């Protein structure tokens, strides 16, 4: 199986991930938003259905509202998450994935599923690694 199976022609198709000097290239930043600690969880959760703010907070678990807000704003700005604030009292804000966001979320979800499926092999590898280190 070659790289081409991953979606694009060759490895070099991901051009200049490694910008010398200067600032990091923009793609890297988007990737980091998407794969960030809370970004991953938000995207996966929203894949199921739209969520309200504090509903999302409870669903994800241990996330401060500051970080959730920050994550949602970043993803919204990147056009991955849609924010729907209804002008009612008390306030009600629904978050959902955009089409773009759904594409990202599905990829992230695939990766997350992979880690879960292969966890056994990872744990085995760690035992081997740690055992080898220990007997030195």
Partner DNA sequence: CAGCATCCCCGCAGATACTG
Partner DNA sequence: CAGTATCTGCGGGGATGCTG
Residues that bind DNA (CB under 7 A): 36-37, 52-55, 63-67, 69-70, 72-73, 83, 85, 90-93
**What, of a copy of itself, DNA, none, does residue 91 touch, CB below 5 to 8 Å by kind?**
DNA
**What, of DNA, a copy of itself, none, does residue 87 touch, CB below 5 to 8 Å by kind?**
none
Q: Please identify, using beta-carbon distances, which residue of 55 and 103 lies nearer to DNA.
A: 55
CB of 121 to DNA, least distance (A): 23
User: Beta strand 81-86 with 51-52: parallel, antiparallel or unpaired?
Assistant: unpaired
CB of 103 to a copy of itself, least distance (A): 7
Q: Please identify, using beta-carbon distances, which residue of 35 and 107 lies nearer to DNA.
A: 35
Q: Calculate the alpha carbon distances from 14 to 8, 9, 28, 106, 108 in Å.
A: 8, 9, 11, 20, 18
CA atoms of 67 and 1, how far apart (whole Å): 39
Closest CA to 44 of 135, 113, 91, 129: 113
């Amino acid at each position: 199986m070659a790289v081409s199976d991953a979606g694009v022609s060759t490895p070099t198709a991901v051009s200049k991930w490694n910008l010398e000097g200067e600032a990091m290239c923009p793609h890297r930043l988007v990737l980091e938003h998407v794969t960030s600690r809370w970004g991953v969880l938000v995207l996966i959760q929203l894949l199921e259905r739209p969520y309200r703010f504090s509903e999302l907070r409870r669903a994800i678990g241990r996330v401060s509202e500051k970080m959730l807000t920050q994550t949602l704003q970043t993803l919204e700005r990147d056009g991955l998450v849609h924010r729907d604030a209804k002008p009612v009292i008390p306030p009600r804000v629904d978050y959902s994935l955009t089409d773009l966001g759904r594409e990202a979320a599905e990829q992230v979800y695939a990766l997350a599923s992979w880690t879960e499926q292969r966890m056994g092999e990872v744990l085995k590898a760690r035992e081997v690694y740690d055992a080898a280190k220990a007997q030195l």
